[in-house]
Structure 1
């Protein structure tokens, strides 16, 4: 795994946080897709099977991310990485709050991964 690229992607995800807090639909989608790519890369690197809709649960099972947010994280990834994005303003606002909570728990963990020497 290329840890420099990982840290670059994590910093891009961190930059999207202020827009997510403002419930920007494009930022929500971009963040979700980016987070999904990072988690899939971790699972591929460990030669784990990638089950659609279970990415967060699989990553939590391997202690890559906190387990208490796995179900919520999977639901948000399913909703926001698909081809149809939610348009209802209330749903977008609620998802922004949930995604912010997930991001605040996941990003510090992902940022802490460094290459072993």
Structure 2
């Protein structure tokens, strides 16, 4: 898994309506060459959206509802990683506090990922010596 570069607490919108605007924001921000993959949960699946996104992003993980497949398990693994970094239970009260709590959980997961990347880089450098 890579880094979480954007997150959103969904209040009223349908998941399926969010995939194209999200991809558009990411492509505008980072460029088509920088994005290797994008992952969504089951609620985001729409064949037309997946086909359109596949024109710009090499790996679009947007599983259909129903039987779990490897792509869905990867998304679930990413969600589990976020839960492991504090998003399994929010003790704060109110929507604003919940959104802040989610953002901090994403930051914690990304910091942990960054630490792993730096540790692996140092280990490889040490191995070469």
Q: TM-score, normalised by structure 1?
A: 0.31
Higher relative contact order (CA 8 A, sep 6+): 1
More strand by share: 2
Looking at CA atoms only, which structure, 1 or 2, has the larger radius of gyration?
2
The structure whose residues are more often helix, as a share, is 1
